[in-house]
Structure 1
Amino acid sequence: MKILFLGDVVGRPGRRALADLVPAYREAEGVDLVLANAENAAGGSGLTLKIAEEIRSCGVDAMTLGDHVWKQRGFDQDIQKLSRVCRPANLPPGNPGREFVVLEADGFRLAVFTVLGRQFMNLKVDCPYRTADRIMSELDGKADGVIAEIHAEATSEKIAMGWHLDGRATAIVGTHTHVQTADGRVLPKGSAYLTDLGMSGPHDSVIGRDKDAVLSSFMDSRARRFAVAGEDVRLCGCVIELDKSTGNAQSIETVQLTA
């Protein structure tokens, strides 16, 4: 079974690339399910109901979110209408939205969930490792395989999550930095691991934003609004192949798709 998981979709350029590239890639490569982190899909920050539906129409089966989960006005209400979107599971109690999504393809039930890291992040959240344990327990009997995402700044937190869930999750992948890493591997107990999927958006940029504005802000320390860039658009992520009989990963490979 083959899963495509795409990193942070950034703004309209990222969404257009989904529409242009995902359906053809899915068919050509025999991909069974497509996942994407959509926390930057609406103007570079957050998600809306309309944009979530647009992304679904591109062939994305489920979406994860991150620290920008509530950036768009009214999304705390709209998220309840989105059965294929999960917010970070370690947000404090009382937050709306689903903690995980369970998909089915060819008789195989695949769950996906995400947690936020705590190092260098602004949101105050519960322990990602204990939350991952709780979600894995809740999924017992509900899923044949699990893709766990950790949306975090620190590589150490992500690598630690890989070891924490090795042998329990089908795959553990990181998001948030918008920079794809080259450390994909299958861990000793059978879980695939990648520190960061990278960014699905404009790469002629500083992590998706207008590079001149970002550079100016770094140099003069003045606050600015950073517009989403528009050139060199790529979809970055990974393809995970799993054994349906065990739920374990067989391989993980990074991908970068361009029009």
Structure 2
Amino acid sequence: MRILFLGDVVGRSGRDAIVAHLPGLRARLAADLVVLNGENASHGFGLAPDMARSFLVAGADVVTLGNHAWDRKEIIPFLETEPRVIRPLNFPPGTPGRGHYEVVLADGRRALVVQAMGRLFMEALDDPFRGTQALLAPYRLGAGGVSAIVVDFHAEASSEKLSFAHSFDGRVSLVVGTHTHTPSADHQVLVGGTAYMTDAGMCGDYDSVIGMLKGPAALRFWRKVPGEKLAPAEGEATLCGCFVETDDATGLAKRIEPVRLGGRLSQVVPAS
């Protein structure tokens, strides 16, 4: 299976880039499955239903959220009717929405997309390690089960992301980190066959402070007093993420490569 994962979409710049470039990028890579993180799409904070729909129309199969899941209140009833938009599985019981979605491809293959959220330097949620283990228990990866399992681990600390990935190495196809908005250079296939990248980066304007206007963001560090509200930078976005190819017999990764398209960063689009 050929999997494209794109990191946190930030503001209008990121949204416009997804709508403009995702259809062509999906076709260019012949991607079977596309997942993107949309939790910062609405002015940097949250996701509105119409934005989620535009990502699905552009070619995303699943949209994940994160710590800004509830910043747009309209998303709460939307999650009950649109299962392709998922939030972290380790929110407390009774939280709206779901933490996973099973995609059925046109050829009948199935892929499970999961999201969990870290706890180090983040909110005090339920244990993402045990929660993910419980969710995966009924699933078999590879022939006779799901062809691929993709996990978006939305977390701050690289140590927690690596620990999570090694814990599920060989049990899932891909563990990819989101949240820091900075693409890491450690993409690799772990010893058990799981593809890994500490952070996919963001789909947004990199002439910024993690997607937000430079001036107001930097001023907060100079003055340490409340200033003007942070707003997304609106220059040309770079689409950032990773591309993974798996073995359908095992569900494990054969390769992982970074993706960077448009904007300021050096361009990398894997050969199809």
Same fold (TM over 0.5): yes
* Contact 2:175–2:194 (Cα < 8 Å) also in 1: yes
- Residues 98-107 or 163-172, more deviating: 98-107
Q: Does 1:151 align with 2:174?
A: no
- Please point out which of 223, 233, 237 is paired with 2:237: 233
How far is 1:232 from its partner?
A: 3.6
Output one character per residue of 1:119-166: Cα deviation in whole Å (capped at 9) or x when no partner. Answer: 111x22111110110111143476332111110000000000110000
Do the aligned partners of 2:49 and 2:74 also contact (CA within 8 Å) in 1?
A: no
Quote the offset at 1:82 in angstroms. 1.1
Which residue in 2 is equivalent to 1:93? Answer: 93
* Ranges in structure 1 where 5+ consecutive residues have no aligned partner: none
Shifted more, 24-33 versus 149-158: the winner is: 24-33
SS for the counterpart of 1:139 is coil
> What are the equivalent positions in structure 2 for 1:1-259 lying under 5 Å apart?
1-105=1-105, 106-121=107-122, 123-140=123-140, 143-224=146-227, 225-258=229-262
- Separation (CA, whole Å) in 2 of partners of 1:65 and 1:142: 26
Letter in 1 for 2:118: G
Are the aligned partners of 1:237 and 1:254 in contact in 2 as well (CA < 8 Å)? yes
How many corresponding residue pairs? 258
Residue by residue over 1:167-195, the C-alpha shift from the partner in whole angstroms, topping out at 9 and shown as x without a partner, is 00011110000000000111111110110
Residue range with higher mean Cα deviation, 49-58 or 171-180: 49-58
State how far apart, in whole Å, the 2-side matches of 1:151 and 1:63 are. Answer: 13
- Cα-Cα RMSD: 1.3
Q: Distance in 1 between matches of 2:6 and 2:138?
A: 25
Gaps of 5+ in 2: 264-272
Residue by residue over 1:192-232, the C-alpha shift from the partner in whole angstroms, topping out at 9 and shown as x without a partner, is 01100000011110000000111111111122311110114
CA distance in 2 between partners of 1:24 and 1:32 (Å):
13
AA in 2 matched with 1:56: L
Select between 7-16 and 131-140 the one with higher mean Cα deviation.
131-140
What TM-score, normalized to structure 2? 0.92
Distance 1:127 1:177 in 2: 20
Tell me if the contact between 1:168 and 1:191 (Cα under 8 Å) persists in the aligned partners.
yes
User: Per the alignment, in what secondary structure is the counterpart of residue 15 of structure 1?
Assistant: helix
Q: Normalization by structure 1: what TM-score?
A: 0.96
User: Structure 1 residues 48, 92: closer, same or farther in 2, change over 3 A?
Assistant: same
Helix, strand or coil for the counterpart of 2:256?
Answer: strand
| Contact 2:146–2:251 under 8 Å retained in 1 | no
Percentage of matched positions with identical amino acids: 41
Question: Deviating runs (4+, > 3 A) in structure 1?
Answer: 138-142
